[in-house]
């Protein structure tokens, strides 16, 4: 496997010499005294190049990876849009209009933008509208038919069954956006989930508070209640300031002294495909610690309880190409779960 990656270690210590988890269990306030970040320069496993490590440490008010340390150069060409029963089309990033400039950085686009471009060229008849109650653009009909949903296959990956807002799913060169008429019960569950998220965020005065966050480690699981999640600006190359991703959930736990440390890896390439994203290799938490394994890592699931039965369980590990947690936009999910998964031998 050709895997180019950089290791980023974010860890916390406090002046009393005890772990943050121990302090939390006592109900004590945990003071963050230092955040250390170890940055290993890009290295390809098996190449014999071990890279170069850099240590950054100092007083910090929150957990954060260094802004701009790693980034994706952005899409320049385009990809494929397939609509079941209608046809296959090409979308081009040149001249593409951004439906969510409030969310995406300049030059970044969503799966919905790809569909809207094909419709703007007159190749399909698309009716859509922005639904404030769902906080997303909703496809009302394509060529007179309703009930559409979408999946995405990122380059080098497999088609992933999504339950994310189409206008927040980032696409890149050679991605396939696949639309089909969804089972009515699943589509209704997705839309209800979106409405519940918006209502929860509104009731919290715009704050994102996740009622249940669970970390399922190699040995056991631990659950945190009512976790306030804030943006840490991990991907300014893709999203506007203030965007909250699934990775922000873990960074917020660390900021609040609820986990001891977090090990991330920046993947530039996987199996010869450019991916440019962070993956979660390890969460330092005494109650769930087990034995580290280079072929394993943490994968997330974020949704509302009413949608849980309609989600497809993760069948891949961190070594397989998929939408990573640093690129998964959250609105106000009812739960977020992190599960330890390993690649098939």
CA distance 3 to 6: 10
Averaged confidence pLDDT in the chain: 81
Please report which confidence band the pLDDT of residue 345 belongs to, taking 50, 70 and 90 as the band edges: very low
Tokens of 112: 């919905």
The residue count for the chain: 345
For 302-334, the pLDDT digits (tens) are 999 999 989 877 655 556 788 999 999 999 999
For 284-299, the pLDDT digits (tens) are 877 666 677 777 889 9
pLDDT number for residue 257 = 86
For 217-241, the pLDDT digits (tens) are 888 899 999 999 999 998 999 999 9
Q: What is the dihedral of CA 290, 301, 240, 188, to 10 degrees?
A: 180
Start-to-end CA distance of the chain, whole Å, equals 13
pLDDT number for residue 280 = 87
pLDDT at 282 over 60: yes
Q: How buried is 222 (Cβ within 10 angstroms: 0-12 exposed, 13-18 middle, 19+ buried)?
A: middle
For 118-172, the pLDDT digits (tens) are 999 999 999 999 999 999 999 999 999 999 999 999 999 999 999 999 999 999 9
pLDDT number for residue 9 = 55
pLDDT number for residue 318 = 56
For 14-37, the pLDDT digits (tens) are 433 343 333 333 332 222 222 333
pLDDT at 272 over 60: yes
**If one looks up domain 78-189 in CATH, what number appears?**
2.170.130.30
- Ranking 7-16, 17-26, 188-197, 246-255 by mean pLDDT, the lowest is 17-26
Mean pLDDT of 67-83: 88
> Domain coordinates of the chain in residue numbers?
78-189
CA distance 237 to 88: 30
Mean pLDDT of 245-261: 90
pLDDT at 2 over 60: no
pLDDT number for residue 226 = 97
Higher pLDDT, 108 or 38: 108
pLDDT number for residue 344 = 67
pLDDT number for residue 25 = 35
Tokens of 169: 């799913």
pLDDT number for residue 138 = 98
Residues 6+ apart with CB under 8 A from 25: none
Higher pLDDT, 313 or 207: 207
Higher pLDDT, 33 or 79: 79
Closest CA to 309 of 151, 219, 192: 192
pLDDT number for residue 102 = 97
Q: How would you classify the pairing of strands 78-83 and 176-181?
A: parallel
pLDDT at 264 over 60: yes
């Amino acid at each position: 496997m050709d895997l180019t990656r950089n290791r980023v270690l974010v860890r916390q210590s406090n002046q009393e010499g005890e772990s943050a988890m121990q302090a939390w269990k006592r109900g004590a306030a945990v003071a963050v005294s230092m955040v250390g970040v170890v940055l290993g320069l890009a290295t390809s496993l098996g190449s014999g190049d071990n890279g170069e490590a850099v240590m950054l440490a100092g007083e910090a008010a929150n957990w954060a990876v260094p802004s701009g340390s790693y980034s994706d150069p952005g899409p320049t060409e385009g990809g494929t849009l397939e609509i079941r029963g209608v046809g296959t089309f090409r979308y081009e990033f040149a001249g593409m209009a951004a439906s969510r400039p409030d969310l995406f950085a300049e030059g970044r686009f969503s799966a919905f933008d790809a569909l809207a471009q094909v419709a703007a060229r007159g190749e399909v008849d698309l009716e859509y509208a922005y639904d404030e109650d769902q906080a997303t653009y909703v496809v009302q009909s394509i060529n007179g038919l309703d009930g559409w949903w979408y999946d995405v296959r990122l380059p080098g990956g497999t088609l992933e069954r999504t339950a994310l807002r189409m206008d927040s799913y980032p696409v890149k060169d050679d991605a396939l956006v696949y639309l089909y008429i969804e089972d009515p019960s699943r589509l209704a569950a997705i839309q209800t989930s979106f409405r519940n998220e918006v209502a929860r965020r509104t009731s919290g005065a715009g704050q994102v508070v996740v009622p249940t966050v669970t970390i399922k480690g190699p040995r056991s699981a631990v659950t945190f209640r009512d976790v306030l999640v804030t943006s840490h600006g991990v991907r300014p190359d893709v999203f506007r300031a203030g965007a909250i991703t699934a990775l922000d959930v873990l960074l917020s736990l660390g900021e609040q002294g609820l986990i001891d440390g977090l090990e991330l890896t920046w993947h530039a390439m996987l199996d010869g495909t450019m991916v440019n994203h962070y993956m979660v290799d390890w969460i330092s938490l005494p109650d769930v610690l087990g034995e580290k394994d280079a072929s394993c890592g943490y994968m997330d699931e974020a949704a509302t309880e009413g949608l849980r039965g309609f989600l497809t369980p993760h069948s891949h590990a961190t070594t397989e190409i998929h939408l990573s947690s640093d690129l998964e936009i959250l609105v106000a999910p009812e739960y977020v779960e992190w599960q330890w998964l390993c690649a098939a031998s």
